[in-house]
Amino acid sequence: MQNRIPFVLASALKRKYAVRGHFYNVRLSSGLLVQCRSVLEIELRPQAHQDGGAKILLPDAVFVMMNPGSSEPLEGTIANITEDAFPITQKQLVPTKPDTTQYQVMRIMSFFGWEYVRVLNLSDLRNPNSSKFLNEVRLLESRNQFFAHTIFSDERTAELSSAMIRKGDAPIVCAWGVNTGLSPLINLAITAIKCGGRYVGLAKSESEHLFRHPLQRPQRAKQEWLDDMCSLLGKN
């Protein structure tokens, strides 16, 4: 029987880890304003370091998920840019409200003793409703010809290369979910990820590139995802 990974409470995780993100709004030529987040970084708080607060240099892993969902900054400014401003080379990271998905990542960090994880997404669009998110992607691409909402687009190759810099043995963890509507974005991402080194994910049965998302229901499924992911990472 597989060992259960400790399901650390959110209150304890918030004390141990800090979350920061880069938020931006894009004003398209059509006048439409698109709310986005390009990256999220989860780091061990300085007081939690056993050595008294050594500087963290490179991520222990890079997670790639679907989109930022309802992620929002706790404080700080949101950059306003136009659609010709990509790639985004200067990013001001601001304190960010953690969510249930990020707590799952923190539990993995706690289990393996990781200090720093970077989270990227198939799309930067901030929309908590997956069905509405996919519809928004289709409309942005078909009506507005706006493809730079994904860091895996051609316009953002240099930005992606920088975001993928990590420790030499650090995995890329694919956890974007199993919705087949994501296939166009997944195909873009997987091409780049294969060139970026070792990648892992909890694949849906008979689906090569559909990987289970950390946010599962009910609670038992969250624990199963956590157990399975830690087992997978421990083998690689």
173-231 residue pLDDT tens:
999 999 999 999 999 999 999 987 889 999 987 778 999 999 988 999 999 999 999 99
152 and 65 Cβ atoms separated by less than 8 Å:
no
Three state DSSP letters for 170-224: CCEEECCECCHHHHHHHHHHHHHHHHCCCEEECECCCCCCCECCCCCCCHHHHHH
Query: What is the per-residue pLDDT for 235?
Result: 80
Q: 187-212: string of b/e by CB count within 10 Å (b at 16+)?
A: ebbbebbeebeebbbbeeeeeebbbb
- The answer to whether residue 58 scores a pLDDT higher than 50 is yes
Question: Which one-letter DSSP state was computed for residue 145?
Answer: -
pLDDT > 70 in the chain, percent: 94
- The answer to whether residue 4 scores a pLDDT higher than 60 is yes
Length of the chain in residues, anyone? 236
pLDDT digits (tens, 9 = 90+) for 9-39: 999 999 999 999 999 999 999 999 999 999 9
pLDDT > 90 in the chain, percent: 82
Cα angle value 54/10/93 (rounded, 5°) = 50
Query: What is the per-residue pLDDT for 1?
Result: 40
- Considering the chain, what is the average pLDDT of its residues? 92
Query: What is the per-residue pLDDT for 53?
Result: 55
Query: What is the per-residue pLDDT for 198?
Result: 85
Query: What is the per-residue pLDDT for 75?
Result: 86
Quick one: tokens of 104?
Answer: 């799952």
- The answer to whether residue 54 scores a pLDDT higher than 90 is no
